[in-house]
């Protein structure tokens, strides 16, 4: 027994064994459970970076997830399941954005465990380090350096308008809960993306505004210092882009919401999933029907159901329409558990092989640095920083 500690599915730290285990490549089994109807499933839907960017890499995909707690099914359906589909279609970088997680107060040990936990979940969900660069943000120091330089072309008013900042700062309350990092977080996110001259960014709908800021900053930088960055396109799915809280269909499902019944975590036990589905709020009436306006809660559950099972909404409506919410929720729990079982099994294998995970992350950081360093050298030269001898 040694060193690395993961956080288990119910938030309990567990110490893991260190022997190497050659865990199975994830994507073959996963594909059966992967949402079927993402709008950009075809490679043709990826933005052609070369057309827009004056000759940078054709399509380079970047995205990240913050290690701010246990990942939930919204993170999976809105982001990670889509990363898995993209990795065969373009050059991809998938990052655990640990510096972002520091914008809210964290215990150092929990941050460390969550960082490794998110990296392990990436692999468990099917991201293949042979086909995508998987790494931790703080292992590539250039992210923070570029964030500073971009911060110097960012307006205070632009950041003040960010709705996520307004929401999160309102939740944190006045005073020391709101720090400069939380305010400047979108600039660091822009740096994450532009550092690799990324052209496409798969994210959930909540990140749309940050992507717009990234494009504005790239355009402004290019106008002042010459064509340096392509303008990245957000890749936001037609379904799954905003999975809502199980307790309040007016709020998005979120890691940091206090009520654990509001979300299904990827590492929840089958019993926990069943209980959360059973206690999910529903709408008036008993009909299972997709209607975002009239039946927002049931529509959200239907969206999760169709994405995890691959069954069309119409088929689910036909099966459960008049059988009442109880049968529908039991079916949903079963489908979610079936989708999560292989992910959880692979996660457990990875927990048992921390040296393997460390190797993957070291290799990913090396590959990421080799892309980032020349871009940073170019950026430094453009803004007029002198070269160190």
Which residues of the shown chain bind ligand AQP in the complex (CB under 6 A)? 65-66, 68, 74-75, 78-79, 203-204, 206-207, 241-243, 252-256
Other C-beta atoms within 10 Å of 382: how many? 16
Find the shortest distance in angstroms from Cβ 42 to ligand AQP.
21
* Nearest distance from C-beta of residue 138 to ligand AQP, angstroms: 15
Minimum Å distance from CB 64 to ligand AQP?
6
User: Which lies closer to ligand AQP via its Cβ, residue 265 or residue 317?
Assistant: 265
Which is nearest to 308 in space by CA: 79, 2, 10, 81? 81
Q: State the Cα–Cα distance between residues 381 and 7, nearest whole angstrom.
A: 43
Cα dist from 53 to 230, 281, 350, whole Å: 5, 46, 39
Contact 335, 319 (CB under 8 A): no
How far is residue 310's CA from residue 264's CA, in Å, rounded to a whole number? 18
Report the C-alpha gap between 337 and 343 in whole angstroms. 10
- Name the residue with the smallest CB distance to ligand AQP: 78
- Would you tell me how many other CB atoms lie within 10 Å of the CB of residue 319? 13
- Cβ-based nearer residue to ligand AQP, 37 or 378: 37
Nearer Cβ to ligand AQP (53/115):
115
Nearer to ligand AQP, 66 or 306 (CB): 66
Q: What are phi and psi of 171, to 5 degrees?
A: -70, -35
Q: Which residues are catalytically annotated?
A: 168, 252, 255
Environment class of residue 252 by beta-carbon count within 10 Å: exposed (0-12), middle (13-18) or buried (19+)?
Answer: buried
Token duo for residue 32: 């059966």
Q: Give the per-residue SS3 of 76-92.
A: HHHHHHHHHHHCCCCEE
- Our CB check for ligand AQP shows the closer of 268 and 349 to be 268
Nearer of residues 228 and 307 to ligand AQP, judged by Cβ: 307
Q: Which is nearer to ligand AQP, 79 or 200 (CB)?
A: 79
Q: Is residue 49 within 8 Å of residue 57, measured between CB atoms?
A: yes
**Contact status, residue 95 vs residue 135, Cβ threshold 8 Å:** yes
In angstroms, give the least distance from the CB of 206 to ligand AQP.
5
- Nearest distance from residue 74's CB to ligand AQP, in Å? 3
Using an 8 Å Cβ cutoff, are 241 and 253 in contact? no
Which residues, in sequence order, are CB contacts of 155 under 8 Å at separation 6+?
Answer: none
Residue 378's contacts (CB-CB under 8 Å, 6 or more residues apart) are 228
Closer to ligand AQP by Cβ: residue 68 or 198: 68
Q: For residue 138, what is the DSSP state?
A: G
Residue 82: burial class (beta carbons within 10 Å; 0-12, 13-18, 19+) = buried
| Least distance in angstroms from the C-beta of 187 to ligand AQP | 15
Least distance CB 324 / ligand AQP (angstroms) = 27
CB of residue 152 to ligand AQP, shortest distance in Å: 24
């Amino acid at each position: 027994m040694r060193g690395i500690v993961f956080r288990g599915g119910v938030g309990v730290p567990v110490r893991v064994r260190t022997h190497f285990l050659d865990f199975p490549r994830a994507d073959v089994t996963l594909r059966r459970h992967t949402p079927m109807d993402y709008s950009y499933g075809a490679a043709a839907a990826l933005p052609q970076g070369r057309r827009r960017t004056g000759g940078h890499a054709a399509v380079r995909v970047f995205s990240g997830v913050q290690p701010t707690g246990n990942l939930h099914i919204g993170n999976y359906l809105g982001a990670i399941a889509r990363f898995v589909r993209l990795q065969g279609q373009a050059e991809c970088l998938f990052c655990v954005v640990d510096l972002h997680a520091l914008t809210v107060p964290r215990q150092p040990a929990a941050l460390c465990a969550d960082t490794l936990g998110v990296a392990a979940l990436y692999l468990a969900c099917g991201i293949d380090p042979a086909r995508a660069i998987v790494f931790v943000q703080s292992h590539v120091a250039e992210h923070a350096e570029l964030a500073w330089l971009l911060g110097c072309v960012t307006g205070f008013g632009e950041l003040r308008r960010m709705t996520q900042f307004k929401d999160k700062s309102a939740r944190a309350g006045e005073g020391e809960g709101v720090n400069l990092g939380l305010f400047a977080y979108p600039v660091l996110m822009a740096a994450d993306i532009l550092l690799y001259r990324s052209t496409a960014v798969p994210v959930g709908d909540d990140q749309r505004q940050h992507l717009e800021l990234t494009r504005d900053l790239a355009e402004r930088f290019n106008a002042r210092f010459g064509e340096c960055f392509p303008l990245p396109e957000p890749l936001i799915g037609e379904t799954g882009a905003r999975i809502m809280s199980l307790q309040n269909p007016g709020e998005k499902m979120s890691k940091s919401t206090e009520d654990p019944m509001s979300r299904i975590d990827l590492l929840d036990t089958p019993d926990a999933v069943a209980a959360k589905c059973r206690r999910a709020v529903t709408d008036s009436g008993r009909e299972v029907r997709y209607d975002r306006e009239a039946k927002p809660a049931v529509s959200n559950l239907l969206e999760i159901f169709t994405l995890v099972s691959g069954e069309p909404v119409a088929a689910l409506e036909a099966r459960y329409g008049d059988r009442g919410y109880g049968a529908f929720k039991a079916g949903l729990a079963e489908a979610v558990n079936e989708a999560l079982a292989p992910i959880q099994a692979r996660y457990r294998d990875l927990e048992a092989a921390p040296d393997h995970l460390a190797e993957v992350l070291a290799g990913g950081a090396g590959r990421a640095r080799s892309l980032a360093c020349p871009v940073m050298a170019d950026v430094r030269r453009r803004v007029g920083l002198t070269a160190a001898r």
